[in-house]
Amino acid sequence: MMSFAPMIAEAVVPLTNYLVLSALMFVIGAVGVGVRKNPVVVFMCIELMLNAVNLTFLAFAKHLPFHGDVAQAATTGQIMVVFVMAVAAAEVAVGLGIIMAIFRLRNEVDIDDMSEMGG
Amino acid sequence: MTEATMPAIEWAMIMPVIIMMLTGCVALIIEMFWPKQNNNLIVGVTLAGLGWTAFNLIGQLGSPAGETLNGLVVRDTMGLVTQLVLVGVTFLTVLFSEPYMRQKKIAFGEFYPLALWSAAGGMIMATSHNLLMIFLGLEVLSIALYCMAGLSRQEHKSEESALKYFLLGAFASAFLLYGIAMFFGATGSLHLSNMPDHFHGEENLLVISIIMMLVGLGFKLALAPFHQWTPDVYQGAPTNVTAFMATASKAAALVAAIRVLSSFAIIEIYWQPLLVAIAVLSMAIGSLSALVQKDVKRVLGYSSIANAGYLVVAFLADYELGDPNFTSAIFYLVVYSIATVGAFAAISIVAKNGKEGTRFEDLYGMWKNSPLAAGALVVFMASLIGIPPAAGFFGKLLIFQSALEAEFTTLAIILAAASVASAFYYLRIMHAAFVENQGPIPTQAAPMKFGLKAALMICIAGTVIFAVTAGKVSQTISGDQPETAISVMNTTGEV
């Protein structure tokens, strides 16, 4: 699985780069959730955060900074990504359904205009 | 690559989840073939499935701890009791859902399979030491709950609460996932039990991991400062869904958090002070913010935050005392769940002809219209306050005892103060049920249906029985370990 990695050894991107990139994506997503007003865009920001997580998993699975059963550890990280993607797809299905239901009810979906409740 | 071997599966351990999932499928198929009939058959099937699951779980209570499916599923007393709590609250919610949803004109049969699957997700979450399973269980629990919160499609506030719950829930699970990724980076595994005793690598990764996971699980537990969604969502969602959300989601998240935190023992100096702060903040916000609220469901939302704080205190004390079964946390969870489901069942009687008001004024005249509901409300509020004959008192007593024993004196004092402060708003709810209605239109509650009556009776019985047998129950939870706190409970319980 890892056999072709040494051939391009000088071109391998170090783990830190992946981690910094994914942390950056995660932060951009989290900030986006806070500042955007359209629920669809907010949800896109959440997807960005999930993709940041996926990148982290894959980077760790590739670079394996741990001991023990290395092959099994790499597989675990990759499998986790598949599950995260599946769950994200399920969330999209439900989330867009809820946004559609709101749109039918009030013809606009701005989060700040939703203040039906309050103490 | 190593040869893949099929692990031996102990079906008995995963049977409860399988029964719940299959019952959900059967209920959905019935709803598909008789879409416009009444839901009685679906309710019957659902209750039968839940009964079977409970029977299965009780049969396993004495059996030895173990794990199956390569450690993806574990069986221990804490997991079994939590699964029983989940099944129990689902049973009670389903019992009073049908009359309530008919009155509210949202009698969709899809509610029942969703509730079953959601509870099954919680059961998966409560019985695993694997972070992948905990994450999947959490998502199964949550995604079904997002749909259930938006069940009342014609009501603006229900849709609004569904959207809020969904967006913030997905946001929180992203944090949980990032925490899991960091754990994977540090240990190379998703198994909590693979956490080494002495960690030589980067401790930073583990610290980031536990903080991120605390955000994700704290959201589900409704702990401050991740609680902002709670009052809004509780108020907007249909009352039966709120009852389920306030108990099932909390039970599952509590046990998952207990498992995660106690396996992070090597960095406990980092998460313990954090958790103390979270507990104090939750108790303070939960008991003080509710004083100025005008809506009963909102008040119960804040009550849920305060109770989450008590549960964290119980966890901290049990952890400090080295109790592997977390007796006081789990016992309080049982007591809280019964009282909370009962309280929501009692206020669900206000719904009539598609309308439902849940402000304090809307409860006026409850005593006249339905004495049983008003009387039941008194019992549940007494239990939540912690007035001696009710089960809630023993729950709080046990937490208080363990907290003192573990030398968390400040936390114990704050817990007592928060209990006193929160008594005001519980008493306000009680009082509202007994005020004469003076409004222009007298609110006449619909005649009580059998399901609601049964749910209220079971909750009252539970509150009494758990009070009388408090010592015995906590002994079952703790796996017959002689403990000072429990022996105190034994003597007080028999007075």
Domain count for chain B: 1
Q: Is B4 within a domain? A: no
What whole-number distance in Å separates Cα of residue B55 and Cα of residue B22? Answer: 16
CA atoms within a 13 Å half-sphere pointing along the CA-CB vector of B330: 30
B288 and chain A in contact, CB less than 8 A: no
CA atoms within a 13 Å half-sphere pointing along the CA-CB vector of B397: 24
Predicted local distance difference test score (pLDDT) of residue A11: 64
Q: What are phi and psi for residue B37, nearest 5 degrees? A: -75, 175
Q: Which residues of B touch A64 (CB under 8 A)?
A: 188
Predicted local distance difference test score (pLDDT) of residue B357: 80
Cβ separation of A116 and B157 shorter than 8 Å? Answer: yes
**Looking at per-residue confidence, does B439 or B59 come out higher?**
B59
Considering only the beta carbons, identify the residue of B135, B159, B174 that sits closest to A46.
Answer: B174
Q: What is the pLDDT of residues B139-163, one digit of tens each?
A: 999 999 999 999 988 888 899 999 9
Per-residue H/E/C for B96-139: HHHHHHHHCCCCCCCHHHHHHHHHHHHHHHHCCCEHHHHHHHHH
Q: Which amino acid is at B485?
A: A
- H/E stretch holding B67 reads strand B66-68
Mean pLDDT of B419-427: 93
B487: confidence class by pLDDT, cuts 50, 70, 90? very low
Positions of E strands within B348-482: none
Cβ separation of B160 and A102 shorter than 8 Å? Answer: yes
Evaluate whether B337 touches B420 at the Cβ level (below 8 Å).
no
Q: What ranges in B245-349 are assigned the alpha helix state H? A: 250-263, 268-288, 296-321, 327-347
- H/E stretch holding B75 reads strand B73-75
What whole-number distance in Å separates Cα of residue B184 and Cα of residue B236? Answer: 38
B232 and chain A in contact, CB less than 8 A: yes
B489: confidence class by pLDDT, cuts 50, 70, 90? very low
Residues paired with residue B73 on neighbouring β-strands, in sequence order: B68
What whole-number distance in Å separates Cα of residue B227 and Cα of residue B298? Answer: 12
Q: Is B6 within a domain? A: no
Q: Which amino acid is at B16?
A: P
Give me B384's structure tokens: 């939540």
Under 8 Å CB pairs connecting chains A and B tally to 132
Considering only the beta carbons, identify the residue of A42, A49, A105 that sits closest to B159.
Answer: A105
Q: What are phi and psi for residue B285, nearest 5 degrees? A: -65, -45
Sign of CA dihedral A43, A45, A46, A52: positive
Mean pLDDT for chain B overall: 88
Cα A110 to chain center, whole Å?
24
Q: Is B5 within a domain? A: no
B229 and chain A in contact, CB less than 8 A: no
Of B147, B174, B141, B177, nearest to B163 by C-alpha is: B147
Q: How far A37 CA lies from chain B's nearest CA (Å)?
A: 12
Shortest CA distance from A102: residue in chain B? B159
Residues paired with residue B66 on neighbouring β-strands, in sequence order: B75
Q: Is B1 within a domain? A: no
**Looking at per-residue confidence, does B486 or B67 come out higher?**
B67
Cβ separation of A68 and B162 shorter than 8 Å? Answer: no
Q: What is the pLDDT of residues B256-299, one digit of tens each?
A: 999 999 999 888 899 999 999 999 999 999 999 998 898 999 99
Mean pLDDT of B166-183: 95
**Looking at per-residue confidence, does B208 or B187 come out higher?**
B208
Q: Whats the size of chain B, residue-wise?
A: 495
Q: What is the pLDDT of residues B241-258, one digit of tens each?
A: 999 999 999 999 999 999
Q: Indicate the domain borders of chain A.
A: 13-111
Does residue B448 surpass a pLDDT of 80?
Answer: no
What whole-number distance in Å separates Cα of residue B464 and Cα of residue B458? Answer: 10
A115: confidence class by pLDDT, cuts 50, 70, 90? low
Mean pLDDT of B20-32: 94
Q: Which residues of B touch A43 (CB under 8 A)?
A: 167, 170
Q: What is the pLDDT of residues A22-76, one digit of tens each?
A: 999 999 999 999 998 899 999 999 999 999 999 999 999 988 656 667 778 888 8
Mean pLDDT of B461-466: 91
Question: To the nearest whole percent, how much of chain B has pLDDT over 90?
Answer: 64
What whole-number distance in Å separates Cα of residue B265 and Cα of residue B183? Answer: 14
Topology of domain A13-111, CATH = Helix Hairpins (1.10.287)
What whole-number distance in Å separates Cα of residue B493 and Cα of residue B448? Answer: 33
Evaluate whether B159 touches B153 at the Cβ level (below 8 Å).
yes
Domain that holds residue B180: 11-493
Question: To the nearest whole percent, how much of chain B has pLDDT over 70?
Answer: 91
Predicted local distance difference test score (pLDDT) of residue B9: 83
Cβ separation of B188 and A64 shorter than 8 Å? Answer: yes
What whole-number distance in Å separates Cα of residue A56 and Cα of residue A19? Answer: 6
Q: Is B60 within a domain? A: yes
Mean pLDDT of B61-84: 88
Evaluate whether B269 touches B207 at the Cβ level (below 8 Å).
no
Q: Is B126 within a domain? A: yes
**Looking at per-residue confidence, does A90 or B197 come out higher?**
A90
Q: How far A112 CA lies from chain B's nearest CA (Å)?
A: 11
B483: confidence class by pLDDT, cuts 50, 70, 90? very low
Q: Which residues of A touch B289 (CB under 8 A)?
A: 119
Shortest CA distance from A71: residue in chain B? B1
Predicted local distance difference test score (pLDDT) of residue A83: 96
Q: Which of B170-174, B313-317, B346-350 shows the lowest mean pLDDT across its residues?
A: B346-350
3-state secondary structure of B74: strand
Q: What is the pLDDT of residues B464-482, one digit of tens each?
A: 999 888 888 888 777 654 4
